[in-house]
Every structure is written in C-alpha cells, then in structure tokens.
C-alpha cells in the first residue's frame, strides 16, 4: 500500500474507449512495465429514501483490498475524507436495508495491472450498466505514504503515460504531508463516478449546447 | 418512656433439637443434670484397661460388657462397686504374696539402719524391680532386675521384628491394581467389555494421524513374585522402534541428475543429527516399551507429514522421496537425507546410531519434533471468535484485515503457510553453514599463531540465524588496540550465506564457501596489527604522518637524533612490509624538470625494506616496538648519559 493517484484519460475526438486502452497499454509497455494479473473495481451507488435526514453513498469493492468493502458518503465537501472500511457482511446488511437505501447505479472497472519496479499501474475502462463511460489510470507507488515526497516521480511517469502535462502539485486531498490511506483512493474514484453520473443525467435529457455551457459554468 | 424500643432477646440454645414436626413444633433433648453426667462418666471408667496386656480374657469380657453399658440401668453404681471390690481383692492378694516373699528373702529385716534412715517399715508394699530394697542382697536383686529387663527387651524386639518382616512381605507382593494405577498416571486407559485398552496416540494433543495407537492391558494371573502382574500387548506395527536420522552428505554437484543409483560413489557423511529420548531414569519394563511405541508412533506421523508435504511442495531444488528416504541438495555439494529407521524393540536396547559424525549441540531432529508439536498445538487450539458471531478460526490479524485495510499482497502473505519440509531444509542449511564456519574458524586459529583470535558463540540459538562475535588481539599489546576500541567482527550466519560486519561498519556479504570468510579474517588480522602498531607508536612518541586501513607512515620523534628518516608500513599481497627511509647525503641524479629545492624530497631519499621477520620479538608489534626504539637509540643514549 502506498500513495495512489487516479487520473482520467481524455479521449481524443473519434477515439473509442477500447482504442484508448490499446494506446495506454502500448505506452505503459514502452516504459518497461510488465503485466501482472487482472484487477477489478466494483462500485454501487445507494440512494437514500429520505434525503432530508440520510445521505447517499457509494460502496466500493476491489481486488486490491479483497476482504474490505469501502463505503463513501457522497458528500458535498470533497476535502473531508469520510470513508468507512467494512467487513464483507456489509453487503448482506445493505440488502436488508433496501427499504431505506436503494441501489441505483453500478460502476465497474476492469483491466490489466502492470508492475514497474515499485509502481503499480492499473488502466481500466469505467462501465456502468453495460456501457463504457471513461478510461482511468491508477498509479500506485508502494514505498511512500506521502504524496508530497514522491510527486515528482508521479508527474514524470504520469505525464509520459497520459501524454499531457500534469499539475506540479499533488491532489488537494493528499497535500500538506497527509499520510495516505486507502480512503483517499476511494475518494478519487467516487469523484470520477459522481462526475459521470451527473454527465449521464445530462445526457439523458438532451440539452442544447448553450444549456450545457451554462451548466458547466455553474459547476 | 415513649421512645422505648422493645428488643426480643433469645438465650443461647443449649439443647439439641431432636425432631421438628410438620407444624413447626420442635422436640428438644433436655440437657443432663449433674448427677446424670457423673453417673455417665463413672460408667466410662475402663477398669479392664490395666489388665488388658496380661489377660486377654479380661478384654473379651470388656468387649462383651461395653454394649450393655450404653443402656440405662436400674442401679448404675452396681458395676463400679463390683469392679472396685474386685480390684481391692486383687490388691489384697498381691499384698499377701509380696509380704510372704519379702518375709522369706529377708529373715533379718533391719540390717543396715544407717543406710536407710527414713526407710518406712518393712510392711509397706515395695516392688522389687523398681527400687533396691533395704536388704543386704542388693546385688542379687539388681541381677534379677537386669535379667527381667533383658527378657522384656527380647520380647519387645521379637514383636518389632515380626512386624517388620510382615511389612516387607507385603511390599513384595505384586499387586495388579497398584500397577494399573501407576500406569494410569502415564497413559489413558479405558474399559471395553472384559478388556482394558490404553491409548498411545497424540489425538488429545491435536494430532490427526489415523494410525492405530491402542494397546491392551493384560493381567498375568500366575506370575512369580519378581515379575510384574501387568502385561501389555502392543499392535504389531508398534512393536518396532522407529527413529528419524538426519544426515548431511557430501556429494557431486550434479548428483540429483544421476539416473543409475548403483554408480553413486561412496557418500561421505558430514554430520548426523539424532534426537535421543533421554534414558536417564530407567523405567519399568512395560513403561519403557510403551514409551518406545509412542515415540515410534510420533516419528511415523512426522515422517508421513513430511512425505505429504514433499509430494505437494515444489521448490526450485527438487526433493526426492524414495522409500524411507527424503533427500535434497541443500548446497551444490551437500545433500540432506532424512531417513526413517526401524528396529524391533528389545528392552534395554540402545538405538544403534552412527555416532562418528554426530553433532549434538545443534539438533535438527529435535527441531523437527518441535515443528510437529507446534503443528499439533496449532490444530488443537483455535482462537476464539471475536465478536462471538464472527467466523471461527480466524486469527486477530485476519479479523482486523478488513477494517485496517490490508491490501492483496499482505493478505496473501498472511494465508501462506510454510511447510515443515521447507523449514527443516532451511534449518539444515543453517546447520551446515554453521558447521563450515566453525571448522574454518578453528583451522584459521590453528594456522595463524598470532595475533590471537577469540570467538564468542551464542548460548541461545535461532534455528535459522546465529550471530558470532570474533575478537582479535595482539598478545602483550592489548592496551594499544584498546585505544581504538575493541577490535572485533560480527559474523551473522544465515541460511544461504553469512554477512561479516567489520569494526568500521562495513558489511561484507559472504557466500556458502568459507574461503571468502577466511580472506576477510586474514585481511582483518593484518589491519589489526597495523592499527595496534599505530596505537603503540603514539605511546613511544613517534608521529603518525598518515594512516589508512593497512597503511602507516611514521616519523621519528623530533627530539631524537634518529639515524633514519620516516618508516612506512604497508600491507601488500596479504603480508606486512616495512620500509625505512635512509638519510643519504649522496648526491643523486637530480631531475631536469623539478628544479625547486623542495622537490628534492622526492628524489633524494631511498627506501629500504626491512626483513622484520628476522627481528627479535614475540610478534609483529613486539618486533616493530624493538626496531623503532632502536632507530631512535640516540635519544635513549642521551638520557642514560645525562641523568
């Protein structure tokens, strides 16, 4: 376990998700990384029946932490890291509570993981109800717990793989010598999922270009 | 008076309750009155007691009389009166007899009035044996009393002897039940129909080995006195002694590739390891047999466990299992052989070990036994689930893995169990390496006379790690090395090699070949001598111009009229060389390039090697001590001349 950062791949015009993954694999192979097994992430969005008193949340199961179920409240304050780490009976508990929390959406990421010395690189496609949403690249640097210390390494590797400039500061979540914990990784994924959910909502109601622009500026 | 509180006080109960009726009514036994108590006490006087020793008939009467005493009688004093009358009659008779006797032996009663002035008159009753009577024949009486005493002593001794003999006879009487009780202290026994069956297996200790470990206890009805009435009958397969023999054998590098086993050259056993169960206390025949049987059961379980692991464990170096042998190559030229040996059991028989190359202080077999016991213990004790609804059999680490949370590699590491065969191979590697290191250190210490090598071996050992401290010192010059701290080296012997941590903190990785270690120690010895010399030089007022590991440049004391210049000590080709700079005024061909007079230093002086081995002295530092003091002889001469 070490500092883990999740990046999102920006699709070039006319590029499908599969093509993007192909390109990513090529780039990662060029760095000298080797394939080592598969990985998956599985996330569910639970909506509370009474939104006034209870809040919506995401659960995340992953092959990297096989015995843990993460639960992350869909909070408006993104810097607050309120992640719960639960044992596997959590899911059966949620089945019993389906009156209060209804599972709305499922997100899934599957892919191949690569190992490059101390780095783990996990590129994958985010799918929700059978359709591809976006491409994410997770980079983990196992020896360090502090993103500030190893950010130059991240920016170097990340900018090569993503083929774009990366901020010279780590995400605000991990800044200021905060020790890394798996909750931070969950937080980053949930941010991506919630962003997708909102854009998906937008797609469902086709809007005019101005409306979208207006919406984006509001954001 | 209105504030009065009424208290009910009840007297202490002096009467016993005989009965409590259903309605709660208590029937009391009234306490006895004084006269009743007195009557009862008199009834208890045992008049027959005094007569018991002499007359058994009296005792019998007493026994017959005693039950009647308990009943209340009309005239309770009748018996007492009767007894007293009887006693009085007897006393009278006795008095008469004694008087007659006294009268006969003493015709002249007051013979010596001075001797017994306060002697009461003769009529008063006296017992002859207690005190010397006032008679002239005192010696006679004394003799008779001695005779009486002797007789009584004889009687008493006879009684004691008889009793002792009877006790002795009782002890030798073989008792089946006693033996059975003794056996039960060691083994679990149970009844099955007519038979008594015992259990030898380790099932209660957590073993799940399916082999039968039952024995039958038989009662030998017609046994002689010396033999034990308890016999045991063991199942056929337990009648053998079984033990594991672990051998380390020297072999070829490609030994495992050989197909034809008959062509294998004679193997040279490097070391063997046996675990001998202690025979300090010789136990009874059947216990000895049972213990052997149990030991062989344990050994067979151990071997079968190893075989099972060998069949499913695939390390890089293959492990072979042929018959009762498990063999693998632990080092390119060394093979580990675990062998299961069997031999029919005979009481008092020692295990036939090949003790020629046995190493007792690092017992691999014992380690193997310990591993199986740990395996048993682990299967027996299961950690309690916490909370109580959690899954059984999870350790605390596994329980908190979800919430910590632990990632995949860590969880995989937690689930991994290291097979016993792997552990024993590692321990064997360590044992072999340790033996090599030990041998090499011994040979170094033998070959190199000086400086001295001291080796500290640890008392407590880990099966896969040992730290050895090696100290070096130069005899007679310990103080000089002290200035630089203890000159020592730490050898960490591991599984696949050892590391040497030198005094300056350098870590040298050494392989399994001990020649590398030899090289390191030889280098260390040379640098020790040079370091020791540097310490000495400071004491005798020479100046150290430059020093590095193994090299030294010395300048003579400025006050002396030294006959030479500087002295250089170097280690070259694993030997110490000493050079002296000669003060020569001979004009040497000067250089055309370096014209400045200060560069004359480079060309003017001439270095000559000293054959220091020809100098007098016990060791290198002693020789150098002598040489350096000779070089500045002028100073000492001056000191002696001008006191």
Quote the pLDDT of residue B604: 63
Q: Give B281-307 pLDDT, tens digit per residue.
A: 566 678 888 888 888 888 889 999 999
- Provide the strand spans (E) within chain A: 3-9, 34-48, 57-62, 69-73, 83-86, 101-116, 119-128, 131-141
Cβ-Cβ pairs closer than 8 A, A with B, add up to 35
Q: Which residues of A touch B401 (CB under 8 A)?
A: 67-68
pLDDT band for position B161 (50/70/90)? very high
pLDDT tens digits for B51-87? 555 555 444 544 444 444 445 556 767 878 888 888 8
Listed range (B5-9, B135-139, B218-222) with the worst mean pLDDT? B135-139
What are the tokens at B146?
């001695």
For the ranges A22-26, A35-39, A63-67, B164-168, the lowest mean pLDDT is seen at B164-168
- pLDDT per position as a tens digit, B469-484: 998 888 888 877 765 5
* Residue where one domain finishes, among candidates B489, B509, B530: B530
Q: What average pLDDT score do residues B162-171 get?
A: 82
Same domain assignment for residues B209 and B293: yes
Q: Are residues B196 and B325 in the same domain?
A: yes
Q: For residues B565 and B52, give the distance between their C-alpha atoms in angstroms, rounded to a whole number.
A: 119
Q: B598 and B463: one domain?
A: no
**Residue B593: its pLDDT value, please?**
73
Average pLDDT over residues A92-112: 89
Task: Parse chain A into domains and list their residue ranges.
Answer: 3-41+106-218
Domain boundary among B349, B380, B411: B380
Mark whether B316 and B196 lie in a shared domain. yes
- Residue B100 inside a domain? The answer is no
Contact residues, chain B, for A67 at CB < 8 Å: 401-402, 405-406, 411
Residue-averaged pLDDT of chain A? 83
Given a cut of 70, is residue B135 above it in pLDDT? no
B238 and B305 inside one domain: yes
Residue A192, pLDDT > 70, answer: yes
**Same domain, residue pair B479 and B589:** no
pLDDT of residue B348: 60
Interface of A with B in 76-135 (CB under 8 A): 85-88
Report chain B residues whose CB lies below 8 A from the CB of A68. Answer: 401-403, 405-406
pLDDT of residue B634: 55
In percent, how much of chain A has pLDDT > 90? 23
Q: Which is it for strands B26-29 and B16-20: parallel, antiparallel or unpaired?
A: antiparallel
Question: Residue B68: what pLDDT?
Answer: 45
> Which range among A49-58, A206-215, B128-137, B498-507 shows the weakest confidence by mean pLDDT?
A206-215
Of B246-255, B331-340, B443-452, where does mean pLDDT reach its minimum?
B246-255
Region A45-59 average pLDDT = 84
Confidence of residue B50 (pLDDT cuts 50, 70, 90): low
- Measured from the Cβ of residue B43, the count of other Cβ atoms closer than 10 Å reads 16
A70 CA: distance to closest CA in chain B (Å) = 9
Pick the residue of A36, A64, A67 with the most B CBs within 10 A to test the interface with B by mutation.
Answer: A67
Tell me what the mean pLDDT of segment B215-227 comes to: 75
* C-beta neighbour count of B516 within 10 angstroms: 17
Contact between chains at B406 and A67 (C-beta distance less than 8 A): yes
Quick one: angle between helices A17-30 and A147-162, nearest 10? 120
Is the pLDDT score of B159 beyond 90? yes
Higher-pLDDT residue of A140 and B124 is A140
The length of chain B is: 643
Tell me which of B595 and A121 has the higher pLDDT. Answer: A121
- pLDDT beyond 50 at B575: yes
Q: Which residue has the higher pLDDT, A54 or B224?
A: A54
Lowest mean pLDDT among A202-206, B139-143, B330-334: A202-206
Predicted confidence at residue B194, as pLDDT, reads 85
Q: Give dist(CA A178, CA A181) in Å, integer.
A: 9
Averaged pLDDT for residues B558-572? 76
pTM equals 0.62
With 70 as the cut, is the pLDDT of residue A23 above it?
Answer: yes
Q: Residue B210 is encoded by which pair of tokens?
A: 């399916």
Strand B452-456 with B466-473, pairing? antiparallel
A68 touches chain B (CB under 8 A): yes
H/E run at residue B16 = strand B16-20
Element (H, E) at B286: helix B285-312
pLDDT (0 to 100) of residue B69: 46
Cβ neighbours around B14 below 10 Å, total: 8
CATH of A3-41+106-218, one of 3.30.310.180, 3.40.50.150, 3.40.50.1000, 2.40.30.10: 3.30.310.180
The answer, yes or no, to whether residue B380 has pLDDT greater than 70, is yes
pLDDT greater than 60 at residue B126: no
What is the domain extent for residue B284? 180-258+266-380
Predicted confidence at residue B585, as pLDDT, reads 54
Both B522 and B545 in a single domain? no
pLDDT at position A108: 92
- The CA distance from B37 to B43, in Å, is 10
Please tell me the total number of residues recorded for chain A in this structure.
219
> Could you give the number of structural domains in chain B?
3
What percentage of chain B exceeds 70 in pLDDT?
Answer: 76
Q: Are A133 and A127 in contact (CB under 8 A)?
A: yes
Q: Where on the phi/psi map is residue A163: left (φ > 0), alpha (ψ -120 to 50), or beta?
A: left
Mean pLDDT confidence for B562-589: 75
One domain for residues B249 and B351: yes
Reply yes or no on whether the pLDDT at B405 is more than 80. yes
> Is B401 in contact with A88 (Cβ distance < 8 A)?
no
pLDDT: which is higher, B262 or A5: A5
- Report whether pLDDT(B111) > 60: no
Query: Per the domain annotation, does B290 fall within a domain?
Result: yes
Cα separation values, B561 from B131, B551, B558, B630, B633, Å: 113, 25, 8, 11, 8
Pairing of strands B195-199, B188-192: antiparallel
**Average pLDDT over all residues of chain B:** 78
The reply to whether residue B402 touches residue A182, judged by beta carbons under 8 angstroms, is no
Q: Are residues B317 and B210 in the same domain?
A: yes
- Residue A87's pLDDT is 85
Residue B450 lies in a domain: yes
pLDDT in tens, A153-185: 999 888 888 888 888 888 888 888 888 888 888
Minimal Cβ distance to B401: which of A64, A67, A70: A67
Confidence (pLDDT) at B538: 83
Specify whether B486 is located in the same domain as B465: yes
For residue B321, list its beta bridge partners.
B326
- Is B448 in the same domain as B577? no
Q: Is residue B388 part of a domain?
A: no
Are B522 and B547 in a shared domain? no
Lowest mean pLDDT, pick from B501-505, B521-525, B529-533, B589-593: B589-593
Q: What is the pLDDT of residue B586?
A: 54
Task: Find the range with the poorest average confidence among A106-120, B64-78, B545-559, B566-580.
Answer: B64-78
Q: Is B397 on the interface with A (CB under 8 A)?
A: no
With CB atoms and an 8 Å threshold, state whether A1 touches B407: yes
CB contact under 8 A, B403 and A63: no
- A67 lies within 8 A of chain B by CB: yes
């Amino acid at each position: 376990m070490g500092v883990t950062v999740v990046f999102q791949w920006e699709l070039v015009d006319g590029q499908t998700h599969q093509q993007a993954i192909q390109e990513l694999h090529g780039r990662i192979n060029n760095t000298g990384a080797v394939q080592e097994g598969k990985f998956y992430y599985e996330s569910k969005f639970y909506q509370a029946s009474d939104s006034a008193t209870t809040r919506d949340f995401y659960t995340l199961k992953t092959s990297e932490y096989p015995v843990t179920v993460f639960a992350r409240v869909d909070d408006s304050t993104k810097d607050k890291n309120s992640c719960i780490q639960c044992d596997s009976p959590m899911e059966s508990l949620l089945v019993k509570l389906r009156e209060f929390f209804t599972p709305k959406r499922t997100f899934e990421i599957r892919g191949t993981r690569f190992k490059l010395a101390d780095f783990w690189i996990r590129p994958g496609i985010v799918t929700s109800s059978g359709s591809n949403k976006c491409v994410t690249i997770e980079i983990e640097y196992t020896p360090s717990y502090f993103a500030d210390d190893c950010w130059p390494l991240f920016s170097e590797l990340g900018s090569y793989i993503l083929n774009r400039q990366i901020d010279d500061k780590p995400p605000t979540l991990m800044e200021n010598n905060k020790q890394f914990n798996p909750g931070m990784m969950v937080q980053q994924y949930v941010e991506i999922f919630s962003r997708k959910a909102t854009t998906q909502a937008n797609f469902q109601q086709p809007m005019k270009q101005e409306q979208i622009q207006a919406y984006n500026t509001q954001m | 008076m209105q504030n009065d509180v009424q208290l009910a006080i009840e007297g202490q109960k002096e009467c016993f309750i005989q009965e409590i009726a259903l309605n709660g009514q208590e029937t009391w036994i009234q306490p006895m009155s004084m006269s009743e108590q007195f009557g009862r006490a008199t009834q208890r006087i045992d008049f027959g007691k005094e007569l018991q020793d002499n007359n058994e008939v009296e005792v019998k009467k007493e026994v017959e009389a005693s039950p009647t005493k308990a009943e209340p009688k009309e005239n309770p004093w009748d018996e007492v009166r009767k007894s007293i009358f009887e006693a009085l009659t007897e006393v009278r008779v006795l008095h008469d007899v004694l008087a007659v006797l006294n009268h006969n032996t003493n015709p002249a009663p007051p013979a010596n009035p001075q001797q017994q002035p306060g002697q009461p008159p003769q009529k008063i009753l006296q017992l002859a044996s207690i005190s010397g009577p006032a008679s002239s024949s005192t010696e006679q009486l004394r003799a008779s009393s001695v005779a009486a005493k002797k007789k009584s002593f004889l009687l008493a001794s006879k009684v004691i002897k008889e009793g002792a003999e009877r006790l002795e006879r009782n002890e030798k009487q073989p008792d089946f039940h006693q033996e059975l009780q003794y056996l039960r202290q060691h083994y679990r026994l149970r009844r099955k129909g007519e038979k008594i069956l015992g259990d030898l297996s380790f099932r209660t200790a957590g073993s799940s080995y399916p082999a039968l470990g039952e024995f039958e206890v038989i009662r030998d009805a017609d046994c002689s006195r010396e033999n034990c009435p308890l016999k045991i009958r063991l199942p056929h397969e337990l009648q053998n002694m079984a033990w594991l023999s672990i051998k380390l054998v020297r072999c070829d590098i490609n030994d495992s590739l050989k197909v034809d086993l008959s062509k294998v050259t004679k193997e040279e056993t490097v070391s063997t390891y046996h675990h001998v169960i202690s025979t300090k206390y010789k136990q009874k025949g059947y216990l000895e047999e049972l213990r052997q049987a149990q030991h062989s059961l344990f050994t067979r379980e151990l071997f079968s466990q190893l075989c099972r692991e060998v069949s499913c464990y695939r390390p890089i170096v293959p492990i072979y299992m042929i018959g009762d042998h498990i063999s693998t190559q632990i080092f390119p030229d060394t093979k580990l052989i675990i062998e299961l040996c069997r031999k029919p059991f005979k009481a008092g028989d020692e295990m036939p070990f090949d003790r020629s190359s046995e190493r007792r202080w690092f017992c691999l077999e014992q380690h193997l036994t310990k591993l199986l016991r740990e395996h048993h213990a682990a299967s027996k004790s299961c950690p309690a689930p916490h909370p109580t609804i959690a899954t059984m059999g999870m350790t605390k680490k596994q329980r908190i893995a979800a919430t910590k949370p632990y990632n995949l590699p860590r969880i995989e590491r937690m689930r991994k169990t290291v097979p016993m065969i792997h552990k024993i191979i590692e321990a064997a590697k360590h044992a072999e390496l340790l033996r090599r290191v030990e041998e090499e250190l011994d040979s170094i210490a033998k070959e190199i006379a000086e400086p001295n090598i001291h080796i500290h071996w640890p008392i407590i050992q880990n099966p896969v790690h040992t730290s050895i401290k090696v100290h070096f010192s130069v005899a007679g010059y310990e103080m000089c090395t002290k200035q630089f701290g203890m000159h020592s080296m730490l050898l960490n012997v591991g599984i696949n090699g050892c590391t040497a941590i030198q005094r300056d903190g350098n870590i040298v990785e050494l392989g399994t070949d001990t020649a590398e270690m030899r090289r390191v120690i030889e280098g260390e010895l040379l640098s020790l001598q040079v370091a020791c010399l540097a310490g000495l030089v400071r004491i005798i007022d020479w100046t150290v111009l430059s020093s590095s590991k193994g090299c030294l440049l010395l300048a003579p004391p400025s006050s002396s009229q030294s006959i030479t210049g500087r002295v250089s000590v170097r280690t070259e080709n694993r030997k110490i060389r000493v050079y002296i700079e000669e003060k020569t005024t001979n004009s040497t061909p000067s250089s055309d390039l370096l014209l400045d007079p200060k560069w004359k230093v480079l060309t003017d002086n001439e270095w000559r090697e000293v054959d220091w081995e020809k100098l007098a002295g016990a060791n290198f530092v002693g020789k150098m001590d002598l040489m350096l003091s000779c070089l500045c002889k002028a100073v000492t001469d001056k000191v002696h001349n001008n006191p």
